[in-house]
A and B are shown apart, each in its own frame.
Chain A
Amino acid sequence: MEDVSGLLWRVLAGPLSAAVVIWLLCHKSKFYTDFGPIMERQAAAFIAIGFLAGSSLFGYWAFGAVRDGAQMENRVLYEFLSAGDLMVEINWSLDRLSGLMMMVVCGVSLCIMVYSIGYMHDDPGISRFFAKLSFFVFSMLGIVLAGNFLMMFIFWELVGVSSYLLIGYWYERPSAADAGKKAFIVNRLGDFGFLIGILMLWGITGEVDFVRVKNQLAAHPVDANLLAVATVLIFCGAVGKSAQFPLHVWLPDAMEGPTPVSALIHAATMVAAGVYMLCRVSFLVFGSPVAMEIIAWTGGITALMAALIATQQNDIKRILAYSTLSQLGYMVMAVGLSNPAGSGYMPAMFHLSTHAFFKALLFLSAGSVIIALHHSEQDIWKMGGLLKKMPITAGCFAVGALALCGFPFMSGFYSKEAILGLAYDHNPRLYLLATVTAGLTAFYMFRCFFVAFFGNTRGEHAEKAKESSWVVLGPLVVLAVASICGGWFGIPEWLVENKAISAEHAPRAVMIAALAAFTIGVGAAAFLYARGATTDALNKLPVLSWVLRNKFFIEEIYMVLVKAGQGTLAWLCGFVDRWIIAGLAVRGLAATTRGTGQVLRLFQTGNVQTYALWFAAGATIILYCLVR
């Protein structure tokens, strides 16, 4: 067992040391002016990819150990914090769940880093980019391998800050800087629910370690309501990080970051961390039906809402962002609908894994298109006709779209089917909602595909577009293969060891309904957009497209609330501080003192006659009182 712990250290150390080494060596120091800027770029990419490859190798080794049945003891590295009855250790958890997630993170990160060499080729800050990206991978692996709630929370926030840094990577653009800040603060909102949840759970069980909390809950039954509240609070963390309604507003804005970042962080890995966390604490979630109900509906609403908004977006990355929201909604819903006695969290994790591949593929294909358009056009209506100009990219995009929509025998087909089957068994209303969403997914993905790749070219940049280089296309092809075959690797069997359960398939009716939704969605998109449309046909439904284009006005409502709430409060505090406390109370006290002094001064004239007068007056009053 000694070995596995050592391996995990190395898995984490890889990206972290890459970040540190790049940060120390590859900025614009004298060290690199000798070698010239090209060297600097290649060095940063080379360091990042090299270290990550090493990590992935160690990760695969640890993965192999899990496959061979090694069970990770809760080996404590060191005691982090112990005050009174609060005890936090630094320890790892390695099991089938974290093993799978670790491989997904390493695999997708590697592809995306290679791709970034091409995508970020002309960017002057490329070493900064790779340092931050490596730091992100480190934090993400930390979430995956954390052995207790507090450690997970620490890495959780580290992921948040690296996402903040990467969204605001092009910090000269105000929109990018604002998007970064928005992401950080919205996430923090959820995270503090998470933190209160952790504290509450600690209050209930007296532990923060995953294994010990689980044992404690199993041994001593506790108040179900209290536990449900704690679970929902912890779920708040997932709502923030996985961008579920009502905290979803940061994710579309996060597309201001470079496209590889969108692919890695805001599609494949970080945003899935919320779902992963729910699976990690499934012992908690499954213990509270109320919390599961809330989780399922949150996911369902997010899935449908995001899919509706996606149908009317025109920015290729934003379409994909809303699609990510929608798919994350699916995963969260799957957690909420899980059957603890049966497949458990398998459907959610299965979809998470396949989604990581095909969504990364879609984003990278979009990135390839953006490269071809010289980083200056993302509006699909200004593209068109790219199929002929960049066939490999178009093919990869089509593969990703098909996988996402659940085309038979591609990866998304299996994982979506698992979720739909679950919904069919447990909650007919959510099942209906999920099927409608599946249809909408097919519609908006193929709307995007047809408008961008079919018809005639509609913009000057699109005229000159040509296929990207192989350093860009290589990762695309790898991810395309993974998107096609992702369902055949046996991920369900990996997560659920009971063969009878993992081999179960959804009822035939579910499959037929899903296929029908797919066909209708693609058909509608083909009918409206495949024949060289130059404007959106939905413009003919003004109210609907207006509402959808403005994303149900959720952001506007928030803006008003935040402005009114925070602005007023901050102003009020400033006012109270300035005028009430400093002004009235303190100055008032000072003024009273001064005033009293002024009045008393009148008596101290130094004039003997005046003193005599006062003396006489005083004596008279005393005499009067005595005589009376």
Chain B
Amino acid sequence: MTFPSHHPDFPILSVLIFSPLVAAAIAVFIRSEGLLRWWTLASTIVIALVSLPLWCWFDATTAKFQFVEHAAWIPSLKISYTLGIDGISLLLVLMTTLIMPLCVLCSWRYITKRVKEFMICLLVMETAMVGVFCALDFILFFVFWEAMLIPMALLIGVWGGPRKIYAAIKFFIYTMAGSILLLVAIIALYLKVGSFDIRAMMGHPYAAEFQCWVFLAFFISFAIKVPMFPFHTWLPAAHVEAPTAGSVLLASILLKMGTYGFLRFSLPITPHATHVFTPYILWLSVIAIIYGGLTALAQSDLKKLVAYSSVSHMGFATFGIFALNVNGIEGATMVMINHGVTTGALFIAVGIIYERLHTRDLGETAGMGKFMPVFAGFLGIFCLSSLAFPGTNSFIGEFLVLAGGFKVSKLMAICTVPGVVIAAAYMLRMLQKVAYGHVNNPDHSQLADLNLREIVTLAPLLVFVFWIGLHPQPFIHVMHASVQHLLEQANGPLANAAVALR
């Protein structure tokens, strides 16, 4: 049996973007909470299945955008509805659709009030997130980008912890501030190019100074999203207060939008400015890696610990991107995927702890592993993955980033390495406390080990930990042509000409 090939008229990306909205619309009319959960789970699984053919149909030999859909939207302003993906966005779209069912599963018992609204928020999020990765028109991109904020802020603000309002507002204002600069940059670019088509904006010969301003506007917007040091303080607050599914979405998908923005917009649209600012951004990344790690070491709240480790891991992603070579960017994209898998899993694990103990304090969780051996096993593997243990996914990404960074600057690459040693320290500290504890552990003998639902939630991520860890080549192969093309844009004649102007 051969897999049916892609029919050029089948709008698979639109289907992926809008079917969650349809599912949400239907969910409005469902009364029973149980049925709502099952409905959301079923629809996210179906969407995930529908997204899988993308992997098979995708032609990895070309850097062109594929599955392109184009329709006029607001012709007077030359705004169009254009979708399309390349090797980099393909991986991110797939990760989004695959993470969603897990988000539903991990909220199964956690969310008890306003279940309908919660599920609708999740589905709307999915629409916006897939849309962000598929949009090829800048206004369309911006619409999805902003649309994402509202359900996310609601997830934090309605279903969050004790300081949920503070965290939701902080999250909202931070990202909003970035978005405004992004909008300014988009309009500035439109005035030069006369179109909102992202492809048209790439490769346009902008003046050097103009590029720098646009780059800075992009940079602040995306750096807040990543988040890069020193724009990261919204992240721990948001993570600590968000419900498990919110944390997972935040860590796995939302943070990737910042790095995706660098790859999709900053590098190809403003190549000259990229080269101007690269050294500073690389150093900021190095600081983020070390700083995030050290701060994580000082945390006693499990979610904060994982949140700060995210800052450190995303530092590797930005470090790889601005290394501006094949190893670096492919490594950075792998880091993005790996971070989605591993940190998502760690947040689910913390959620599992919280559901049982109603605390996330490291001291009070000590010694759980003795009574939850299956959980301890999962946690152990995800911790190893998070500290970039060879044989797991993160090692591949961080190794490639280091290799790419080494070509740019030996000094900076060596400066990032302590980050990896610190990662071992904070992850082992957490694992050892939670799994083994110390002498005077609180009594955990009442705890039940993972149930089937929880195992099903964690198991797919475990598969990816080892799949990427042991056979990463398919993932790298699929993005190779796109990365190559991106580098041609970023390091190509335009960048050189602009550099010569300086």
The chain A residues found within 8 Å of chain B, CB to CB, are 27, 78-86, 150, 153-154, 156-158, 161, 168, 171-172, 174, 177, 181, 184-185, 188-189, 192, 195-196, 199-200, 202-203, 566, 569-574, 576-577, 581-582, 585-586
Docked pose: A185 CA to B297 CA in angstroms: 14
Chain B residues near A168 (CB, 8 Å)? 432, 436
Q: Which of A78, A84, A572 contacts B330 (CB 8 A)?
A: A84
Q: Which of A185, A569, A581 contacts B233 (CB 8 A)?
A: A581
Q: Is the CB of B294 closer than 8 A to any CB of chain A?
A: yes
Chain A residues near B395 (CB, 8 Å)? 154
Chain A residues near B429 (CB, 8 Å)? 181
Docked pose: A168 CA to B433 CA in angstroms: 13
Is A174 in contact with B439, judged by CB distance below 8 angstroms? yes
Docked pose: A572 CA to B290 CA in angstroms: 12
Chain B 294-342 interface residues, beta-carbon cutoff 8 Å to A: 294-295, 297-298, 325-327, 330-331
Chain A residues near B473 (CB, 8 Å)? 79-82
Is A154 in contact with B390, judged by CB distance below 8 angstroms? yes
Of the candidate stretches B21-29, B64-72, B206-214, B398-406, the one touching chain A is B398-406
- Chain A CB within 10 Å, residue with most, of B294, B410, B425: B294
CB-CB under 8 A for A192 and B420, given A83-B330, A158-B391:
yes
Chain B residues near A154 (CB, 8 Å)? 390-391, 395
Chain B residues near A184 (CB, 8 Å)? 424, 428
CB-CB under 8 A for A84 and B297, given A189-B421, A196-B414, A581-B230:
no
Q: Taking CB as reference atom, which chain A residue is nearest B439?
A: A174
Q: Can you name 5 A-B residue pairings with CB atoms under 8 Å?
A: A83-B327, A84-B330, A171-B436, A195-B399, A202-B406
Chain B residues near A171 (CB, 8 Å)? 435-436
- Chain A CB within 10 Å, residue with most, of B326, B395, B424: B424
Q: Is the CB of B384 closer than 8 A to any CB of chain A?
A: yes
Q: Is the CB of B476 closer than 8 A to any CB of chain A?
A: yes
Is A81 in contact with B396, judged by CB distance below 8 angstroms? yes
Chain B 112-143 interface residues, beta-carbon cutoff 8 Å to A: none
Q: What's the least CB distance linking B32 to chain A, in Å?
A: 35
Chain B residues near A174 (CB, 8 Å)? 438-439
Q: Taking CB as reference atom, which chain B residue is nearest A80?
A: B473
Q: What's the least CB distance linking B56 to chain A, in Å?
A: 21
Q: Which of A27, A81, A177, A574 contacts B472 (CB 8 A)?
A: A81
Chain B residues near A185 (CB, 8 Å)? 421, 424-425, 428
Is B233 in contact with A157, judged by CB distance below 8 angstroms? no
Count chain B residues whose beta carbon lies closer than 8 angstroms to a beta carbon of A: 47
Chain A residues near B439 (CB, 8 Å)? 174
Smallest CB-CB A-B distances: 7 pairs: A84-B326, A154-B390, A570-B298, A582-B233, A171-B436, A573-B294, A573-B295
Q: Is the CB of B413 closer than 8 A to any CB of chain A?
A: yes
Chain A residues near B476 (CB, 8 Å)? 81-83
Docked pose: A565 CA to B404 CA in angstroms: 29
Q: Is the CB of B373 closer than 8 A to any CB of chain A?
A: yes
Chain B residues near A581 (CB, 8 Å)? 230, 232-233
Q: Taking CB as reference atom, which chain A residue is nearest B402?
A: A199
Docked pose: A344 CA to B390 CA in angstroms: 31
Interface string of B434-446 (1 = CB under 8 A from A): 0110110000000
CB-CB under 8 A for A574 and B295, given A161-B384, A177-B436, A203-B406:
yes
Q: Taking CB as reference atom, which chain A residue is nearest B295?
A: A573
Docked pose: A195 CA to B390 CA in angstroms: 11
Chain B residues near A79 (CB, 8 Å)? 473
Chain A residues near B472 (CB, 8 Å)? 80-81
Is A577 in contact with B233, judged by CB distance below 8 angstroms? yes
